[in-house]
Chain A
Amino acid sequence: MALLAALVVYPLLYNVGLSLRNYRTGEFVGLHNFARALEDPQFFASLRATGVYVSAALATELTLGLALALLVHRTIHSGWARALVYVLFLIPMVTPPVAAGVIARLIYTPTYGILNVLLLRLGAISSDVLWLSEPATAMFAVLSVDVWQWMPFVFLVCFAGLQAVPADTVEAARVDGADGWRLFWHIEFPYLQSLLLLVLVFRFTDTFRVFDHVQVLTAGGPGATTEFLSLYLYRVAFKFFNLSYAAALSLFVLLVTSLAFAVLGRYLVREVSA
């Protein structure tokens, strides 16, 4: 209990205290640092960029992960082939995000990056695409790393969930003439529902706090187009050394992620008690 207090409660209270003071003089300023956020265009720009990133990453990862899980579940039945798929999907997840960022930087670099070279040879493009220095493509580039790294997590959870669907129920539905879509919607999806919510909350909180690979790949650029909330927070804390404002922003991040977990918690309690 004391350890918990030392590791969690004290830093949290310290952070709250910091957010209510002037970072330079230590003077008590009430909610000034929170009010400052409301009139900070860079904060809103980072929030917008984070919104785009989170929604695009979640939509892509959930759709692709689920689709692939269904595909593998329905088409691959051999044990060793499934094991191979498992191992292949684990590789991105165990890659450190910084390493993933470095690899992606090499792939997306114009002129000698493998992606441009391949696309040019295939005739898909006639001149180099500036993946990391145009706003839309830079967003795509940072998203692609997230999807590569974390779509497998969605896949693995959904695939495991699909194994829990009773084979005789599926068989009965098929005998009754259920096609692929109906089978999924009426039989399989109910088994996956709580798992998907769990995945959604985990991925939401992770993408909301994304930092490592973005810092390596674009450092928030070009301009501030991929400067997500966590990168802006880092800038405020470790470049501006405005620790009080950074503390206020971090409490905002804590609030949003806590809300997401509260929704999950409430749902899970309902599921368990149902």
Chain B
Amino acid sequence: MSGGNIVARLPFPVAARKELGDAQLRANLRNATHTIRDKRLRMVGEVPDWEELRRSGAAIKDDVLSRLPELLTQFEAAATAAGATVHWARDAAEACAVVTALVRDTGTAEVVKVKSMVTQEIGLNDSLEAAGIAAVETDLAELIVQLAGDTPSHILVPAIHYNRSQIRDIFHRNGLSALTDDPPALAEAARRHLRAKFLSARVGISGANFAVAESGTLVVVESEGNGRMCLTLPETLISVVGIEKILPTFRDLEVFLQLLPRSSTGERMNPYTSLWTGVTPGDGPQTVHIVLVDNGRTETLADDVGRQALRCIRCSACLNVCPVYERVGGHAYGSVYPGPIGAILSPQLSGGGANRTLPYASTLCGACYDACPVRINIPEVLVHLRQTGPHPPAERAAMRALSWIMRDRRRYAAALRAARRGAAPIRWATGRRGAVRHLPWPLSKWTSTRDAPLPAKQTFREWWAHERTR
């Protein structure tokens, strides 16, 4: 059982059509993804052993996935010994119930959050709200999205679909005043708003980029410093962590702290890296809870091909190079995990029935695989997931028929001949243009945006037989 915000409510082609109509969105996305894409390329190009680093990252993660129960148990023991309380949650509902109960026990009505994909995945904010608890997002982009009453559309840059003047308008509507739409002015308005929240909050909620098994240490990598505020100021810290975030040893961090910033923000090193291990008397939160979330990960682990998606370190490099993402944005994917990684992660985490159109939301161009710092072969997993459909009856019939024809020389030659003959009158009708403007369903989907070519007057094998075999 799993749930939360990883199930798309609309099939991808339907959701994509709506987003495609938004020219502003496309312009914003193009700008943002190309800027970050170029920056990533420059930073990756600086590292002479980048390919070896990628291989190390993939190998460490694969090792983790192959002995996850053992490492999780080790992590739990170490974190408990350091004074943290570890909780286990099988699915989104269980995770939300645990966190909500922990917050309620503190008697507070407002918590500060540092951006956490897994709390979005499980739909934690809604659950807290239902219990009368306000969750304040403190990451700048996350705050913008929250103030807009919107949902994130990118893993790393949740407000990527807005430009600066749209952001100023959102701030104005919410009483955050910025005189201009200059990024520093907007950031200053957010800073003033958030400072008051940080100083009054008694409970902080975080995710973790990594969880070190040998020491029970959690790691958060961020750019704005809001994370460190959330992690150090409140009395109580609740960290919600996906079970795949485990790394065996401290030394393994060396690899990922190089891979992650260069892949995600295109920086050599991120500005803030916070590590905390349980409770330290007189310093930082005096009560620390860690909620380890499964929510479909164990089932994903059981799939030989698909499990590589669990290597993902949420850097979003695949989103920034994806030509499909660039056109439709994150909302079309209907999940907190958009883009290429979302197209393989969301269907697996949410189990069989949901998100079945997402694996088709790709041309298999492979740019994502090249960009992935942990070498997730996203095209391979996409094709793997397509084996289970959906296969519309007409398509299935056509595929079966074509397979039956194309495996036999005589049937195949006859079919080519028939297609060539069938096209003759159309060729005559199209005259010198030689291309077709409108075809009947289902080929009308092709001619909706482009002309169609016609079969040639003579197939290659007819030419060969005529010219070469006499």
Q: Indicate whether A and B interact.
A: no
Give chain B's interface residues, CB within 8 Å of chain A: none
